[in-house]
Amino acid sequence: MIVELILAGIGLVLSAFFSGSEIAVITANPLQLQKWVSQKKAFAPAAMQMYEKRQHFLTVILVGNTLTNILTTTFATIMLTKLGFDWWQIIIIISATILVIGEVLPKSLVRHRPNSYLLFSSAMIKLFGFVLHPVARFFEKLIAGLLRLFKSDEAPVNIMVRREEIEQSIFDSYETGILNADKKKYLDRVFDFSDTTAGEIITPRTDMIALPENTDLAMLKKTFIQSGFSKIVIYRENIDYIVGYISLRDILGTVRYIRDIIRPIKFYPESKSIIDLLKEFQRTKTSIAVIVDEYGGTSGLVTMEDIVEEIFGEFDDEYDGGSVNVRRLPNGDLHISGRTEIDFLNEQYHFHLPEGEYETIAGYLLEHLDRFPQPGEVFTIKQHEFTILKATPKSIDHIKLRHLPAGK
């Protein structure tokens, strides 16, 4: 009976080992494995190979797990029969033991550290892979034949990874030092990109540079020079009746009337996905569009650059309110555009300005003041002194910001 106990115990341990290996191969983080390979960590290449060829090694693991469960069941049955247990008692004891110790427990434990376990198990799994290779290959061929029988000519594909799992993998990689903050931010932007609408990235109508269609050529050229833009929107009567735009290169030739060089412009709703908008830009070979609200009025403008900035960050270029949004003055104060984003100031200048329903510094000031300030007005919010340099009854355009030492 001692022999049966030992053999059943070995089978149960191996069952737990294979179950842990199964969940490790499925949930391993390839970025962490790749980092270990580059660091020449022991067994990292074997673990990486297991992940890359996980479909084959999963077959090996499942075959091994099945054989060890047979081993456990056979010798445990012999042992329990000798001890006088009834057949139904034997079924319950063996099933519960294999389920808890051989399946649930190892999978629950390994799920929290799949990469470390894969490193630990890789050499042993490769050894079992060598021993069980003929059996594993037989089942792989059998599965391929069954797929063909059911008219599935395609090779088995990897299980699709859910978005949440990829985002968690990115977060884990950042926490463990595989990704730095800049790379993580870039990847986060890629995910946010798919959820962003045109209304979220527009240059608002109050900041648009636009001219009436009866503007003379001299004024048009002057506007191009003063704004630094390469495209100017043209309207009829008012900004809600946009008729097109003019590109800078259109005025380089012989032009008499600007209406002769107005290019057509597309209109899209605020709810338009920027992924779809990007496809439209590519299809129509354009790079500018007008965004309208639910009533058909002009909400603002979106350019190709605005879309690209959603992934790569601010370029501080066209339609960004000037070529430079933030400029440090000789005394250390900052000259800031009202459209400068709070996130940018916090990241670049470590201001720790609180986040809220607003995105820009102008929105932050309006939240605190509950009114539009006058030019020249000075006020303090926490450790920051704000001087309004330029403002209108409807906007805050330029601000001087001074960080006050603690205690003032």
Sign of CA dihedral 154, 159, 162, 165: negative
User: In the chain, what percentage of residues exceed pLDDT 90?
Assistant: 17
Question: CA 125 to CA 308: how far, in whole Å?
Answer: 45
pLDDT at 390: 82
295-346 pLDDT, tens digit per residue, is: 889 999 998 888 877 766 555 554 444 334 787 777 788 888 888 888 888 8
Please name the residue that has the structure tokens 């594909």: 157
Question: What is the model's pLDDT at position 152?
Answer: 54
Please name which of 102, 26, 16 lies closest in space to residue 57, comparing C-alpha atoms: 26
Determine the pLDDT at residue 323: 37
pLDDT (0 to 100) of residue 16: 92
DSSP helix/strand/coil, 204 = strand
pLDDT of 164: 59
The pLDDT of 27-35, averaged and rounded, is: 80
Q: Are 64 and 56 in contact (CB under 8 A)?
A: no
pLDDT bracket for residue 259 (50, 70, 90): confident
User: Is the per-residue pLDDT at 254 higher than 80?
Assistant: no
Q: What's the pLDDT score for residue 244?
A: 93
Q: Which helix (H) or strand (E) holds 399?
A: strand 395-403
> What confidence tier does 186 reach under pLDDT thresholds 50, 70, 90?
low
| Assigned token pair, 391 | 């403002």
Distance in angstroms between the alpha carbons of the first and the last residue of the chain: 83
Residue identified by tokens 């290169």 is 249
Rounded mean pLDDT, 1-28: 89
Hey, what domains does the chain have and what are their CATH numbers? 2-149 (no CATH), 198-312 (3.10.580.10), 326-403 (3.30.465.10)
How many whole angstroms separate alpha carbon 189 and alpha carbon 271? 19
Tell the residue number behind the tokens 């979106």, with chain if given.
302
Confidence of residue 229 (pLDDT cuts 50, 70, 90): confident
| Per-residue confidence band for 26, with pLDDT thresholds at 50, 70 and 90 | confident
Per-residue confidence (pLDDT) for residue 243, from 0 to 100: 93
Higher per-residue confidence, 176 vs 70: 70
Q: What is the mean pLDDT of residues 9-15?
A: 91
- Summarize pLDDT for 262-278 with one digit per residue, the tens: 999 999 999 998 888 98
Structure-token match 């946010």, residue found = 192
Instruction: Provide the pLDDT for residue 264.
Output: 93
Mean confidence (pLDDT) of the chain: 82
Entry pTM: 0.44
pLDDT band at 168 (very low <50, low <70, confident <90, very high): low
Q: What's the pLDDT tens digit per position in 361-391?
A: 888 888 888 888 888 899 898 888 999 988 8
Report pLDDT digits (tens) over 130-151: 888 788 888 878 877 777 777 6
Q: Is the pLDDT of residue 248 over 80?
A: yes
The rounded percent of the chain whose pLDDT value lies above 70 is 85
CA dihedral 50, 52, 56, 62 (to 10 degrees): 50
Query: Is the Cα dihedral 113, 115, 120, 122 positive or negative?
Result: positive
Compute CA distances 367 → 10, 91, 265, 360, whole Å.
68, 69, 35, 11
- Report the Cα 230 to chain-centroid distance in Å: 31
